[in-house]
Amino acid sequence: MLRAPLKSIALVVVAGFALSACSAVDRLEHIGEAPALSPITNPTALPDYHPISMPMPPKQPPDTYLTNSLWPVGSHSFFPDPRASHIGDLVTVDISIADAAKLSDSTQRGRTNADTAGIGNLFGLQGQLAQVTGADPSKLVNMNSTTSNQGSGSIARSETINLTLAAVVTQVLPNGNLVIQGNQQVRVNDELRDLQISGIVRTEDITSNNTINLSQIADARLSYGGRGQITDVQQPPLGQQLYDILMPF
């Protein structure tokens, strides 16, 4: 009988081989074919979609004298606003990221200790102590220690992304802010590039050209990746990933 830890490891290994086999079968079924594009669907119908609920100020009742007014309640302009403001409207997102980080740390520490102790007189018994122990009473303890520690580390990172895509308004919050979500896929030969963006924007930050910058999107979630033959080569096989997880050394 296998022990519980060995059973767990065996189950993980079997599951890893099963996943690898499923992936291999799926790749064999579509060998020679380009990656398929995802169908256009309603973002709110996706399994991972969750409506956003955030603290909001209490809604003020409309003034009675504006009921029959030509000025629309809550409007910032007398003329119609072409900017996105309703569910289903589109807004263009300009993604411009140019981040650079450089950190360098250095630590150095040293310490030296020395202790010496002896007994010159012990009630006149130092001679008998030397005869019994065979040690010199004046040199009972002589210790020294040296400690040295030195460490250094550095981080250098640079990221540059310039993209543009259209997002759709999926929700209008009680305070007027808009929840947007966009997805863009581009296939070149057998490689598929996938770009996803979501977050919360203010209608005031949307320009007259119906565009908004990434830096003005709250809780922004940006995903930029792809899949295809080149991406598959860059990823280690599932067996190697499982080995790296289980290998304790």
Q: Contact 197/220 with Cβ under 8 angstroms?
A: yes
What local confidence, expressed as pLDDT, does residue 74 receive? Answer: 57
Mean pLDDT of the 38-62 span: 76
**pLDDT tens-digit series, residues 14-34:** 555 555 556 666 767 777 777
Q: Which residues is 193 bridged to in the sheet?
A: 186, 226
Reference 54, options 172, 206, 181; nearest CA is 172
Number of domains in the chain: 1
Angle 235-236-242 from CA coordinates, rounded to 5°: 130
Its domain, for residue 108, covers 104-154
pTM equals 0.58
Provide the CA 120 distance to its chain's centre, in angstroms: 68
Residue 1 within a domain: no
- Residue 214's φ and ψ, nearest 5 degrees, are -60, -35
Residue 147 within a domain: yes
Residue 17 within a domain: no
End-to-end CA distance of the chain: 26
The string of DSSP codes covering the chain is: ---HHHHHHHHHHHHHHHHHHHHHHHHHHTTTPPPPPPPP--GGGSTT--------PPPPPPPGGGTT-SSPTT-SSSSPP-S--STT-EEEEEEEEEEEEEEEEEEEEEEEEEEEE--S-STT-HHHHHHHH---GGGSEEEEEEEEEEEEEEEEEEEEEEEEEEEEEEEE-TTS-EEEEEEEEEEETTEEEEEEEEEEE-GGGS-TTSEEEGGG-EEEEEEEEEEEHHHHHHSPPHHHHHHHHH---
The tokens of 249 are what? 């050394």
Indicate the pLDDT class of residue 201, thresholds 50, 70 and 90. very high
Residue 117 within a domain: yes
Mean pLDDT of the 172-191 span: 90
Residue 53 within a domain: no
Of all residues in the chain, what percent carry a pLDDT higher than 70? 73
The whole-chain average pLDDT of the chain stands at 78
Question: Which range has the worst mean pLDDT, 128-137, 167-176, 207-216?
Answer: 128-137
Residues in the chain, total: 249
> Would the pLDDT of 2 be above 50?
no
Residue 23 within a domain: no
Residue 149 within a domain: yes
- Residue 193's φ and ψ, nearest 5 degrees, are -100, 130
